[in-house]
Amino acid sequence: MNSFRHEYKYVIDAAQRQILLIRASGLMQRDVHAVPDGAYLIRSLYFDDDRDTCFYENQSGTDPRSKFRIRYYNDNPAMLRLEKKIKWHGMTRKESCTLTPEEAALLTEGGFPVTVGMSDDKKRLLLEWQRRALRPKVIVTYRRIPFVYPAGNVRVTFDEGITSSDETRRFLTQDYRQRPVLPLGQSILEVKWDGLLPLHIKDMMQLDTLRWSAFSKYYTCRCIHL
């Protein structure tokens, strides 16, 4: 993703989730990457420096700001991505590259892979990671139900069962203690789009009646362990 996108988040309860999930199912397409039940599992390892710069920038609303994470889906650590997420004026952009399991393991353990022979984009991301002296801080795990709509490149997701773990060295094993971060029944609705959000999508998802939230999975999960 090279351009900035709008990103709105809402904390919703079980009743709101049920209604909005039915509405999204009736109008939007399921994401092709979802497994047969229409969802997928996301595991992310977030990084920060020794001063917790990303954490405090998130807390103060610094603009622009960025953070790094390693992510994989559906318990398959053979498909790993290093991502830099940039926040600017309420919009987001991602830069990413693939990682081998060996490269991811090095970063997870506080090491750094050899960059010789890498693509320029991958090398640039890793060298920024190294310059910022980033270290693994927290694992964020959750189940995502995703929908897409072509006009406006709209993406609507329901994120539920969000958990946090500070056992960062076990990220690639999926065997670590996890702590729930939201009250029972709550989930996060995220709506992302490019230039314009189609009005019928906005009306269908009742966005004018929901309370916008600055919810950050990284920040919320870090708070549990500080």
Domain parsing of the chain, residue ranges: 5-225
Report the Cα–Cα distance between both ends of the chain, in Å, rounded.
32
How many angstroms separate the Cα of 149 from the Cα of each of 28, 180, 201? 5, 30, 9
Is the overall model pTM greater than 0.75, yes or no? yes
- Residue 159, Cα to own-chain centre: how many angstroms? 10
Confidence (pLDDT) at 34: 85
The pLDDT of residue 27 is above 70: yes
Q: Is the dihedral of CA 29, 35, 40, 44 positive or negative?
A: negative
Confidence (pLDDT) at 37: 86
Are the beta carbons of 130 and 103 closer than 8 angstroms?
no
Confidence (pLDDT) at 78: 87
- Give 5-225's CATH code, choosing from 3.10.290.10, 3.20.100.30, 3.40.1440.60, 3.40.630.30: 3.20.100.30
**pLDDT (tens digit, 9 = 90+) per residue, 185-205?**
999 999 999 989 999 999 999
Confidence (pLDDT) at 124: 96
Between CA 8 and CA 61 the distance in angstroms is 15
Between CA 83 and CA 69 the distance in angstroms is 5
Q: Is the dihedral of CA 48, 53, 59, 63 positive or negative?
A: negative
The pLDDT of residue 2 is above 90: no
Mean pLDDT across 197-224: 93
Confidence (pLDDT) at 144: 97
Listed residue (69, 74, 77) closest to 41, CA to CA: 74
Exposed/middle/buried for 120, CB within 10 Å: 0-12, 13-18, 19+? exposed
Q: In which band, very low, low, confident or very high, does the pLDDT at 165 lie, cut at 50, 70 and 90?
A: very high
Confidence (pLDDT) at 156: 97
Are the beta carbons of 154 and 198 closer than 8 angstroms?
yes
**pLDDT (tens digit, 9 = 90+) per residue, 37-87?**
899 999 999 999 999 999 999 999 999 999 999 999 999 988 999 999 999
Confidence (pLDDT) at 3: 86
Q: What share of the chain in percent tops pLDDT 90?
A: 87
